[in-house]
């Protein structure tokens, strides 16, 4: 579970940084930057949730 939390934190951090960088690169202003940060952040949360589901599924189906 701790690895899933680490991956989720990194994904959200990278998503917010990417939104800030792209917003600044294309001179979108504050609203554009916040919009991209929110969009990328939601995408990162979705992918993180999929990752956690797959990790739980892998741990419960493991045959030792």
- Tokens 């990752």 found at: 51
pTM, whole model, 2 decimals? 0.86
Tokens of 64: 């030792």
**Residue-level pLDDT, tens digit, the chain, 64 residues:** 888 999 999 999 999 999 999 999 999 999 999 999 999 999 999 999 999 999 999 888 877 6
Angle ∠(37,55,60) on CA atoms, nearest 5: 155
């Amino acid at each position: 579970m701790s690895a899933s939390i680490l991956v989720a934190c990194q994904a959200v951090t990278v998503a917010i940084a990417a939104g800030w960088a792209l917003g600044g690169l294309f001179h979108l202003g504050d609203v554009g930057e916040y919009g991209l940060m929110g969009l990328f952040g939601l995408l990162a949360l979705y992918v993180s949730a999929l990752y956690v589901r797959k990790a739980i599924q892998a741990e419960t189906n493991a045959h030792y």
